[in-house]
Amino acid sequence: MVVYATAADYATYTGQPASAGIDAVLARASERIDELLVAALYDTDPVTQMPTDPAEAEAITRATCAQAAWSLAVGDPYGVASAYSEVKIGSVNLKATNGGGAGPARHAPDAASILRTAGLLPGYVIDQGAW
């Protein structure tokens, strides 16, 4: 798996020091960015799998940081907590919010915007959580 951003990239993007555990958050954010880039066409280095075009690489790094920041801001890095209106740990008690409809949003709007502006997305991302 390719991780598109480092803790230093995240600190630069957000203007805040990276918190403990940011490497795991960035790895998860990279997975979400991979979902957005599934149909994107760009050249990659055969060894690192990173984009060879500096502008595209920079856009993917910023999008990853935006995804990570959004995940931390909503407090749901795995995209599951917002699916429940109630969560109880002792004797486990979960109550779904939408009765089995669309799941929670998985992609940061800013991440999709960065990738679209860089020409890496052919159209608009429709996140299943929005429907």
Asked if 127 contacts 110 with a C-beta cutoff of 8 angstroms, the reply is: no
Domain locations in the chain? Answer: 7-78+106-130
Summary mean pLDDT of the chain: 83
Give residue 59's pLDDT.
97
pLDDT digits (tens, 9 = 90+) for 9-34: 999 999 999 999 999 999 999 999 99
- Exposed e or buried b per residue across 56-91, where buried means at least 16 C-beta atoms within 10 angstroms of its C-beta: bbebbbbbbbbbbbbbbeeebbebeeebeeeeeeee
Average pLDDT over residues 62-81: 84
Percentage of the residues of the chain whose pLDDT score is greater than 70: 72
pLDDT digits (tens, 9 = 90+) for 22-69: 999 999 999 999 999 988 889 999 999 999 999 999 999 999 999 999
63 against 89, higher pLDDT? 63
As a whole number of angstroms, the distance between CA 57 and CA 52 comes to 7
Element (H, E) at 35: helix 22-36
**pLDDT at residue 131 is higher than 50:** no
Q: List the one residue out of 34, 108, 35 whose CA is nearest residue 65.
A: 108
Cβ count within 10 A of residue 112:
22
Give residue 33's pLDDT.
95
